[in-house]
A = this chain, B = another copy of it.
Amino acid sequence: MIAASTLSHSDVTMLLLSLGVLLGLARAFGEVCRRFNQPSVIGELLAGIVLGPTVLGALWPDGFAALFPREGNLPIALQGLTTIAITLFLLVAGLEVDLSTIWRRRRAAFRLGLFGMLIPFAATLPVGLLLPARLDAGPEVTRTLFALFLATAMSISALPVIAKILIDLRLFRSDMGMMVIAAAVFNDLVGWLVFAVILASAGHAASGGFPVWMSIVLTLIFVLGMLTVGRILIDRALPWIQAHTSWPAGVLAFAMVLGILSAAFTEWIGVHAIFGAFIFGVALGDSRHLRANTRTTIDHFISFIFAPIFFASIGLRVDFLRNFDLPLVVLVLVLATVGKVGGSLLAARASGTGRRESWAIGFALNARGAMEIILGLIALEAGLIGERLFVALVIMALVTSMTAGSLVQFVLGRQRVVSFANHASPKTFLPSLEARTRRDAIAELARAAAEAAGIDARAVEDTVWNRERVVGSAMTNGVAIPQARLSGLSHPIVAVGISRAGIDFDAPDGQPVRLILLLLTPKSEAALQLRLLASMARAFQEARLVDRVVEQCRTWTEFLALIRTEVEQRAGGGNGA
């Protein structure tokens, strides 16, 4: 074998161990965040902070040094992996940019996107020019470049977080939703382009290579070429690839290879690898020939495996406690929020949008999410900013992302999609009812529900039964949803009963009922009752799913797993990083 630098036996052991621990903790923390309806990127970052110098390094320096050494082969191997991870993550981010959305709403998107960028940009620029040292400018950067970077960092948005918020509030397909998305796409494109120019300029000052003007010209040629000729060529190539290569291997490899080579090109001309992957992703995602399940395979693997590794690895590099500078954090947070919310609000009002909606647009576009963190990390690596400012940018990104959803919800008075499954529990899941009659089945479920709620079973049973006698609760497909509104209840309770033998519920289609969902809601919340009822009806509109519940679900966990993977997945999700 040719002699070469190689990983030793213990290198391999430690690489796998550190990778497994990093990914495991990142996903676990990410899940906790999603449980509280927050972007998973927050948990992934936090996992890195726990495993990095901030916590593990402070508490157990030897363990940290063994798991994530600073010298030798391991950091190189890990960095190679995170470089690929972030490159592919930006490819996926590019896929989500839908050029036709902007084009269809180009006037509103242009106005909202441009002013939503220009106002925070203009507000931040003088601060950056006047206070570079206080703001923790990097060592190898001019005052102008630093101010330009800071202004750009304040002006961008985070498309995935914003999309997730809009989907959660069922606003994604609304006029307002599409306008916000179009503006965010515009922000993303322009923001990254400006950042690319800044990087090219800084790269020249720092390391040599191409002259600045050449880097900028090449960047513009690349972007324009990729979004015009490149886009058309990709659209032509995809059907050929799907016809003449094995599927989906050919398309997957096509996307990966060209994404990676685009990244290599932009890195070479002095911008940054991820910029090329992002622009290629935009061009690829625009093709109507890219199948939904190809997107899904790329998206799942990259969002759920590569992205957590990358975001967790950020926490490994920086000590977040030692570099926490409260006045700087507050300043960045105020500058970002006032500029962005204010700018977007003004632009929306000027376009004739109502007051409440304009505030909602401002709050939505204020979310910075993963994009801000990536921008900050690259700036840190390029010497544009110091570690204190990086930490402040990360915290700003997290705070704006975490608050955006609740603020939009608050100003609009919208409510999230509800799922009946959140109100059931192992205690109220009866996988094989003993009852053989309608009355007995209701009594059996009422007892379980009353016990879980801590109220009187008899009263529940009577109220449900009185309603049932008047308006039968059986629907089609062998499902019945008896219900009652009770004054003694503080929150909704759902009980789920399965009868494999079937019970006569006097159903309109004459079928025996095999799945019974008892729904109890507080007397005051009529709207919630209707929404939970709709959630149940929607879940079991397909006979196939009822069959699977009746045949397969013997435990609460199996039932919940089926609902989460078959029903709620359909309703829309995505990563929301």
Contact = CB atoms under 8 A, between A and B. Distances in A.
Contact of A301 (B2, B77, B209, B301): B301
| Majority SS at the chain A contact face | helix
A541 to B, nearest CB: 19
A76 B5 contact: yes
A572 interface: no
A471 to B, nearest CB: 33
A31 interface: yes
Q: Give the one of A23, A30, A253, A380 with max B CB within 10 A.
A: A253
A7 B83 contact: yes
A6 interface: yes
Q: Give the one of A14, A318, A557 with max B CB within 10 A.
A: A557
A192 interface: no
Contacts of A561: 239-240, 242-243, 289
Q: Give the one of A7, A79, A84, A270 with max B CB within 10 A.
A: A79
Given A13-B264, A264-B17, A300-B297, A256 B305 contact: yes
A472 interface: no
A77 B80 contact: yes
A73 interface: yes
A305 to B, nearest CB: 6
A297 B294 CA distance: 10
Contact of A7 (B23, B30, B79, B239): B79
Given A80-B80, A291-B565, A300 B1 contact: no
B76 A242 contact: no
Interface stretch (A143-151, A152-160, A244-252, A330-338): A244-252
A118 to B, nearest CB: 32
A276 B14 CA distance: 15
Interface in A257-283: 257-258, 260-261, 263-264, 267-268, 270, 273
Contacts of A557: 239-240, 243
Interface in A1-58: 1-7, 9, 12-17, 19-21, 23-24, 27, 30-31, 34, 40, 53
Q: Give the one of A83, A209, A270 with max B CB within 10 A.
A: A83
A317 interface: yes
Nearest to A569: B247
Q: Give the one of A34, A246, A261, A263 with max B CB within 10 A.
A: A246
B1 A564 contact: no
Contacts of A40: 246, 249
A575 interface: yes
A247 B17 contact: no
A432 B4 CA distance: 61
B253 A2 contact: no
Contacts of A551: none
Interface residues of A, number: 92
A246 B79 CA distance: 28
Interface in A288-316: 289, 291, 296-297, 300-301, 303-305, 308
Interface string A458-474: 00000000000000000
Contact of A575 (B30, B239, B249, B258): B249
Given A81-B80, A305-B253, A71 B239 contact: no
Nearest to A387: B1
Contact of A27 (B5, B239, B253, B565): B253
Contacts of A5: 70-73, 75-76
A555 B6 contact: no
Given A20-B264, A264-B13, A560-B243, A249 B380 contact: no
Given A31-B244, A253-B305, 15 more contacts: A1-B317, A4-B70, A4-B71, A12-B267, A14-B264, A15-B84, A16-B83, A20-B261, A23-B257, A24-B257, A77-B77, A243-B557, A246-B573, A252-B305, A291-B565
**Which 8 residue pairs spanning A and B have beta carbons closest together?**
A77-B80, A16-B264, A243-B560, A242-B561, A27-B253, A20-B260, A20-B261, A249-B304
Interface of A: 1-7, 9, 12-17, 19-21, 23-24, 27, 30-31, 34, 40, 53, 70-73, 75-81, 83-84, 87, 203, 207, 209, 239-240, 242-250, 252-253, 256-258, 260-261, 263-264, 267-268, 270, 273, 289, 291, 296-297, 300-301, 303-305, 308, 317-319, 380-381, 387, 555, 557-558, 560-561, 564-565, 569, 573, 575
